[in-house]
């Protein structure tokens, strides 16, 4: 059999393993090993399996994942998510749909310390859903804004998605982090605009909450200001060149731990929770990266990326037309595959095409993460929807999916804006001090 035929058979086997619920890292490792064995023999395959896990385990850049995840867990245990929500509620809660907008702002703030969409949705959902239920928000709007707001966790830095993209493409983690700041703010604004339009059409779905007194507003600002300061120190330090991304992660985790101590949240139970959750997430990321680095050499040997690029070139499309076709493919994949799985499966094929057409790889990384955010709320798999269902047990799954549709449309608008105006993503990376 030709390498291309073997590659297609192995890809089919990979999808079978994924649909059988194998962890994506293990599925990639099995498929890549079997394919490499058929093409290059046992000795070469054993050499690959003996070196890749060792090299990945000693990759210094991967420690950034553990440190930022630890920072997010410290923030969660310290009650900072409630502080962020209270601050946002004090500022916009008295607007029509204000509690939903406050949820979006709170998710954006928590994303800046967690880097996880699922953690953002779970943490902010537990805080905001009871409040919206108290003010008789329509369950569709309440659950939809939590599920959509949680997706900001992989766009606003520190983002695990950017870290994996950087490792797969050898791009700068620091530049990717900074590239996600302005698009993250823009998408937050688009979500809030969506809520405004929905409540203008039907005010009953999101009644305005009581306006808080100035004393309560000042108190909310005071409690949330420490966490905001930590985020500014971490991102600002990377921007002006004081910290490398790994150093910034360490500084952020240390400062958040000090805040835990100050708030008297440090005990055996909280430390056990933070450490175990960090290890679980870190191990999952390690497994995905190791599986990807086993699968990618096999994919290169099959010449499938080159064959696909040649096929796309034969369509006689403009670079923008090819980009739109790629984005459409990602949207379709997002309906039945998890975001990280999509990234590690497609980057070896798509990335060479992107660079050949002259697109900026940092900008494409941001665009890709926005599109992958859509997969988190796309039916029928949408992981964030299932997470919110676990919190709002009385709300039917169909209602939550209906609730996220307007926000899905806002993500599509964000994608179009980034294609038309790539400078939004590239402004901060292009001005950062190296």
Contact, 406 vs 149, CB < 8 A? no
**pLDDT of amino acid 313:** 67
Q: Is 381 left (phi over 0), alpha (psi -120 to 50) or beta?
A: alpha
Least reliable range by pLDDT among 158-172, 229-243, 303-317: 303-317
The pair of structure tokens assigned to 56 is: 């990945």
Report the C-alpha gap between 99 and 92 in whole angstroms: 7
* Mean pLDDT of the 236-244 span: 87
Report the C-alpha gap between 59 and 211 in whole angstroms: 50
CA 195 to chain centre: 22
Report the C-alpha gap between 73 and 75 in whole angstroms: 5
Q: How far is residue 323 from each of residues 296, 331, 366, 368, measured CA to CA in Å?
A: 22, 12, 14, 11
Say whether pLDDT at 231 is over 60.
Answer: yes
Contact, 239 vs 433, CB < 8 A? yes
If DSSP codes are grouped into helix, strand and coil, which group holds residue 159? Answer: coil
Report the C-alpha gap between 165 and 178 in whole angstroms: 14
pTM for the whole structure:
0.90
Q: Is 17 left (phi over 0), alpha (psi -120 to 50) or beta?
A: alpha
Report the C-alpha gap between 183 and 68 in whole angstroms: 20
Confidence at 433, pLDDT banded by 50, 70, 90: low
Report the C-alpha gap between 290 and 57 in whole angstroms: 9
Say whether pLDDT at 423 is over 90.
Answer: yes
Q: For residue range 389-403, list pLDDT tens digits in order.
A: 999 988 999 999 999
**pLDDT of amino acid 139:** 95
Q: For residue range 74-120, list pLDDT tens digits in order.
A: 988 888 888 889 999 998 988 999 999 999 999 999 988 887 888 88
The pair of structure tokens assigned to 95 is: 């607007």
* Mean pLDDT of the 212-222 span: 86
**pLDDT of amino acid 408:** 96
Say whether pLDDT at 370 is over 60.
Answer: yes
**pLDDT of amino acid 339:** 82
For 209, which DSSP code? Answer: P
Report the C-alpha gap between 161 and 109 in whole angstroms: 17
The pair of structure tokens assigned to 17 is: 């393993």
Percent over 70 (pLDDT), the chain: 99
Contact, 173 vs 163, CB < 8 A? yes
**pLDDT of amino acid 207:** 93
Considering the chain, what is the average pLDDT of its residues?
90
**pLDDT of amino acid 303:** 79
């Amino acid at each position: 059999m030709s390498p291309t035929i073997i590659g297609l058979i192995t890809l089919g086997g990979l999808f079978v393993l994924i649909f059988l619920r194998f962890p994506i890292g293990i599925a990639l490792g099995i498929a890549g090993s079997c394919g490499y064995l058929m093409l290059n023999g046992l000795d070469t395959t054993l050499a690959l399996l003996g070196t890749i896990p060792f090299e990945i385990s000693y990759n210094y850049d991967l420690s950034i994942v553990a440190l930022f995840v630890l920072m997010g867990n410290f923030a969660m245990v310290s009650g900072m998510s409630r502080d962020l929500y209270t601050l946002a509620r004090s500022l916009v809660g008295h607007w029509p749909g204000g509690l939903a907008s406050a949820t979006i702002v709170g998710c954006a703030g928590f994303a800046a310390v967690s880097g996880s969409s699922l953690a953002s949705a779970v943490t902010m959902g537990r805080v905001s859903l009871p409040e919206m239920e108290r003010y008789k928000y329509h369950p569709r709007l309440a659950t939809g804004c939590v599920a959509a707001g949680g997706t900001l966790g992989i766009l606003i830095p520190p983002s695990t998605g950017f870290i994996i993209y950087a490792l797969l493409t050898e791009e700068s983690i620091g530049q990717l982090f900074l590239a996600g700041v302005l698009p993250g703010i823009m998408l937050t604004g688009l979500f809030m605009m969506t809520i405004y339009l929905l409540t203008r059409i039907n005010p009953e779905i999101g009644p305005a909450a009581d306006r808080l007194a100035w004393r309560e507003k000042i108190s909310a600002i005071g409690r949330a200001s420490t966490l905001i300061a930590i985020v500014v120190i971490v991102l600002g330090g990377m921007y002006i060149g004081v910290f490398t991304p790994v150093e910034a992660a360490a500084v952020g985790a240390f400062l958040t731990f000090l805040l835990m101590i100050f708030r008297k949240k440090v005990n055996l139970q909280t430390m056990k929770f933070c450490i175990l959750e960090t290890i679980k997430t870190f191990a999952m990321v390690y497994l995905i990266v190791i599986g990807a680095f086993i699968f990618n050499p096999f994919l290169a040997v099959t010449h499938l990326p080159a064959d696909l690029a040649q096929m796309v070139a034969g369509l006689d499309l403009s670079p923008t037309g090819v980009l739109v076709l790629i984005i459409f493919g990602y949207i379709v994949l997002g309906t039945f595959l998890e975001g990280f799985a999509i990234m590690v499966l497609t980057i070896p094929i798509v990335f060479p095409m992107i660079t050949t057409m002259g697109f900026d790889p940092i900008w494409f990384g941001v665009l890709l993460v926005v599109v992958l955010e859509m997969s988190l709320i796309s039916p029928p798999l949408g992981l964030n929807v299932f997470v919110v269902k676990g919190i709002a047990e009385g709300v039917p799954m169909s209602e939550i999916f209906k609730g996220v549709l307007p926000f899905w449309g806002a993500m599509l608008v964000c994608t179009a804006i980034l294609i038309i105006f790539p400078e939004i993503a590239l402004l901060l990376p292009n001005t950062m001090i190296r």
